[in-house]
Amino acid sequence: MKAPMMILFAGCMLSSLSAHALEMKGRLEWVHKVDMRVVESGVVEEVNITTGQHVNKGDVLLRMDQRKQKASLLEAKARVARAKLGIEDAEREKARTQELFDQGLIAEEELKDNELKHAVAQTEMESANAAEEAAKVALEHTELKAPFAGVVASSAVWQGAVIFAGKQDQPLVSLAPDDQMLARVLVTADVLRNYPTGASAQVLVNGANRSGKVYRQGVEAVRIEPEGAIYELDIVFKRTAKELLRPSESVKVILP
């Protein structure tokens, strides 16, 4: 008799939980979105994306005209090569001067002068290396690369467009992650208190029930109703790559 009684008790508990579950209408939102701009002025040479396209981390989204930056990099590399030859020559001269000094053939002042020349050559080498790194960074800044795998939420750039780095009122590209999405519902403060961050939830989207959890609770009310202040409650759930889900789509959220 004990086993049937336990089963009956468990069934009653499940029925009780189901009866108290909240089912409400919500809308989809991005978990987050990155607005991207270029940091080098110039002409857009290549655009590789369109709105809604899925990209992988590191993909080149757009490329500016790189001729100036490539020329600067070549010049910096040539400077490094000259500095390398200079320091090699300075090291040979330093060794020869030290040998002559050890033999008593030259004065200490001549030895110190040679050491100073060697230090100048080392400084020039360090300066040349720094200039090469700066040129590499400037070249990298002519490209926008995807910082993570995601979907292009918006694209406002075209081949041939002239971009001024300090006058980009709108982002050229906006990228959102494609592995997660939010379902946002509006709830009262009483409901908000019952579902802390990390609490389990379900999202019904595209006819499928997805497991999710409370990701973020609203702090400021979005509006005031007769029943009280209304806050946002965000549920995060996983989505498959290239699944067609858009912000503002209607979904159902079930809070157990």
Domain with residue 84: its CATH number is 1.10.287
Separation between Cα atoms, residue 238 and residue 203, nearest integer Å: 10
My answer on whether 174 and 133 are in the same domain is: no
Last residue of a domain, one of 97, 114, 140: 140
User: Would you state the pLDDT for residue 10?
Assistant: 31
> 114: buried, middle or exposed (CB in 10 Å: 19+, 13-18, 0-12)?
buried
Q: What is the pLDDT along the chain (256 residues), one digit of tens a residue?
A: 333 333 233 333 333 344 568 999 999 999 999 999 998 899 999 999 999 999 999 999 999 999 999 999 999 999 999 999 999 999 999 899 988 888 888 888 888 988 899 999 999 999 999 999 999 999 999 999 999 999 999 999 999 999 998 888 899 999 999 889 999 999 999 999 999 999 999 999 988 899 999 999 999 999 998 888 999 999 999 987 667 788 999 999 999 9
My answer on whether 157 and 92 are in the same domain is: no
Which helix (H) or strand (E) segment holds residue 91: the answer is helix 67-102
Separation between Cα atoms, residue 135 and residue 232, nearest integer Å: 47
Is 122 within the bounds of a domain? yes
My answer on whether 60 and 167 are in the same domain is: yes
My answer on whether 44 and 164 are in the same domain is: yes
My answer on whether 55 and 162 are in the same domain is: yes
Residue 215 CA to chain centroid, in angstroms? 19
User: Would you state the pLDDT for residue 240?
Assistant: 76
Last residue of a domain, one of 113, 140, 167: 140
Range of the domain at 255: 21-64+146-256
Last residue of a domain, one of 124, 140, 156: 140
Is 150 within the bounds of a domain? yes
My answer on whether 119 and 58 are in the same domain is: no
Structure-token match 């200490």, residue found: 108
Contact assessment for residue 143 and residue 64, using Cβ atoms and an 8 Å cutoff: yes
Is 10 within the bounds of a domain? no
- In the chain, the number of structural domains is 2
My answer on whether 47 and 158 are in the same domain is: yes
User: Would you state the pLDDT for residue 17?
Assistant: 41
My answer on whether 60 and 173 are in the same domain is: yes
Is 3 within the bounds of a domain? no
User: Would you state the pLDDT for residue 13?
Assistant: 31
CA distances from 43 to 35, 160, 169, 238, 241 (A): 20, 6, 17, 38, 32
